[in-house]
Amino acid sequence: MRKTRITGLLPFVALLPAFAGAAEPVAHDITYAREVSRIIQDNCQGCHQPGQIGPMSLTTYEEVRPWAPLIAQKVAQREMPPYQYDSHVGVQELKDDWRMDQADIDTIVKWVEEGAQLGNIADLPEPVQYPEIGQWRLAEELGEPDHIIKSAAWDVPAAGQDLWWEPEVDANITESRCIKAVETLPSRAAHGSTHHANSHFLVKNEAGEWVDDIRLSEFAFGKLGEKVPKGACRKVPVDSKVKWSIHYYPDGNFVEDDQVSVGIWYYDEEDDFNEAEAYPQDLRLYALQGGGDYLIPPHGKLMTQGFHSFDHPVRIDSFQPHLHLRGVAMSIESFDPRTGRREILSQISNWNAGWNHSHTYEEGFEPLLPAGATIILTSWFDNSAANPRNPDPDQWVGAGQRTTDEMSHAWIAVTHLDEEGYQELLAERQARDSNSVASIGE
């Protein structure tokens, strides 16, 4: 019998003893209709449907069945769903966590081993409608944004090298309010070529000059958005401008008058939110490269570290690594100089530049750092042929803005506390669980 070779995929025939044609009937305890279809709905179909970014559609049994062995392999290795966050170390309580439950992984693997049977079609769930590319993904939970700011229009060429578009636009904000959530949305037409889009506010100083104020949002491939927890306030400034930094990488499609949008949801009375009692929060970029002068040799590896200390107590609300194609891992640790205690808060050991996630900690589990504490950021790079995402291991690679250059920084949302607020939060954690991994201050 002639074997079909699928380029770029690991062998997976061994996963399917029943697919080879068993001599005796096999009892099938798990079926697509009853169990697996619901797991696929919850974890895969958001991307794997017509018109979305997944390379194949997985909305029906007929679509899923040919890919069943590969699906089992990818979920067992935790390559899919694409959420890079280590499960064995650090804070595990996360919002919008894409990681699949181990029980669901085991169900899919067993279903494939048993022959990937359909089962009774009466057991199939109702189809789910998912947001299309170009729609606000947070709208399902929060409704449409309260305020939308668009970049100035720009033509994106079909071919060429990395391009940057950095316009300044009026924010049209007339009231200073606290942000509940923010999402940056590339256009549907340029979704594939919009590598990242950062935005921050500009305000006038006493001399009437426009100067940088707070960061509004950051977007890179795969990112959902950012949510600000209750008890924290990231304010928008009135009479401000927004400066964009948009990185395009042409993908073969010409887009005329492209615009990137940022949507803002505000806290209001219905949210039981007390602005007077909220602590200020901001989103900052913390760099690791120590000036950006590092070089990764051909076929070589590199580790970089960065440090940042706080002279007041803080709460870490989210952590978003950013590396490029040679990056393979990043961690964030805390160090308390009073006790000498050093602890990993989060770690990503299977970095994929195609999927950027803001890992937002569940409320009550955000790491707390006392005054004087330091965060330690560590990145690892692999410029060898063993890195499957490395486009050319023969090149020297330095820090830079291009996709083929490297970056080594993290976006971290920080709530700035006073000692009283820190002690209150710490007491709540200790009362709940004296062994909580999130309570790192004492």
| pLDDT, tens digit, 9 for 90 and up, residues 269-305 | 788 888 888 999 998 877 765 446 788 999 999 999 9
CA–CA separation, 234 and 425 (whole Å): 19
User: Domain check: are 230 and 378 in the same one?
Assistant: no
**Structural domain contains residue 317:** yes
pLDDT at 98 over 80: yes
Find the domain containing 74 and state its range.
Answer: 13-123
State residue 329 phi and psi, 5-degree precision. -165, 155
Which of 251, 277, 303 terminates a domain? The answer is 277
Give pLDDT, residue 288.
64
Give pLDDT, residue 434.
64
Condensed to tens digits (0 to 9), the pLDDT of residues 317-373 reads 999 898 999 999 999 999 999 999 999 999 999 888 878 888 999 989 999 999 999
**Structural domain contains residue 8:** no
User: Domain check: are 257 and 318 in the same one?
Assistant: no
**Structural domain contains residue 196:** yes
Cα 390 to its chain centre, rounded Å, is 21
Give pLDDT, residue 244.
95
User: Domain check: are 91 and 145 in the same one?
Assistant: no
Condensed to tens digits (0 to 9), the pLDDT of residues 30-42 reads 999 999 999 999 9
Cα 176 to its chain centre, rounded Å, is 28
What is the pairing mode between strands 279-287 and 232-233? parallel
**Structural domain contains residue 399:** yes
User: Domain check: are 283 and 398 in the same one?
Assistant: yes
* Banded pLDDT at 17 (limits 50, 70, 90): very low
> What torsion do the CA atoms of 315, 318, 324, 328 make, to the nearest 10 degrees?
80
CA–CA separation, 413 and 311 (whole Å): 17
pLDDT at 426 over 80: yes
Q: In what order do the strands lie in the sheet with 226-227?
A: 147-150, 261-266, 179-185, 226-227
State residue 431 phi and psi, 5-degree precision. -70, -35
Contact 277, 232 (CB under 8 A): no
437: three-class secondary structure by DSSP: coil
Q: How many domains does the chain have?
A: 3
User: Domain check: are 335 and 319 in the same one?
Assistant: yes
Which of 123, 146, 178 terminates a domain? The answer is 123
**Structural domain contains residue 344:** yes
**Structural domain contains residue 128:** no
pLDDT at 6 over 70: no
Where residue 329 sits, what CATH number does that domain have? 2.60.120.230
User: Domain check: are 269 and 285 in the same one?
Assistant: no
When the pLDDT of each residue in the chain is averaged and rounded to a whole number, the result is: 86
**Structural domain contains residue 360:** yes
What is the pairing mode between strands 163-165 and 241-248? antiparallel
Q: Where is pLDDT greater, at 210 or 440?
A: 210
CA–CA separation, 296 and 399 (whole Å): 9
Cα 148 to its chain centre, rounded Å, is 22
CA–CA separation, 317 and 93 (whole Å): 12
Give pLDDT, residue 358.
86
Neighbours of 440 (CB within 10 A): 24
**Structural domain contains residue 2:** no
| Rounded mean pLDDT, 424-437 | 77
Identify the burial level of 42 via C-beta atoms within 10 angstroms of its C-beta, where 0-12 means exposed, 13-18 middle and 19 or more buried.
middle
On the question of a cis peptide bond just before residue 81, with omega within 30 degrees of 0, the verdict is yes
User: Domain check: are 264 and 291 in the same one?
Assistant: no
Q: Which of 324, 328, 378 is nearest to 90 (CA)?
A: 378
Give pLDDT, residue 84.
86
User: Domain check: are 391 and 338 in the same one?
Assistant: yes
CA–CA separation, 151 and 245 (whole Å): 9
Neighbours of 145 (CB within 10 A): 20
User: Domain check: are 144 and 246 in the same one?
Assistant: yes
User: Domain check: are 298 and 330 in the same one?
Assistant: yes
| Rounded mean pLDDT, 150-157 | 95
User: Domain check: are 156 and 247 in the same one?
Assistant: yes
- Tell me the two tokens of residue 82: 């694409």
Lowest-confidence segment of 23-27, 167-171, 203-207, 358-362 by average pLDDT: 23-27
- Please state, in angstroms and as integers, the Cα–Cα distance from residue 405 to each residue in 156, 326, 351, 395, following that order: 21, 9, 16, 10
Q: With 0.75 as the threshold, say if the pTM is over it.
A: yes
- Please state, in angstroms and as integers, the Cα–Cα distance from residue 42 to each residue in 37, 125, 189, 264, following that order: 9, 11, 26, 26
- Please state, in angstroms and as integers, the Cα–Cα distance from residue 94 to each residue in 54, 152, 318, 330, following that order: 24, 35, 9, 17
Give pLDDT, residue 11.
31
Q: Which of 323, 297, 303 is nearest to 395 (CA)?
A: 297
User: Domain check: are 158 and 235 in the same one?
Assistant: yes
**E-strand spans in 124-222?**
147-150, 154-156, 163-165, 168-170, 179-185, 194-204, 210-220
Which of 73, 93, 123 terminates a domain? The answer is 123
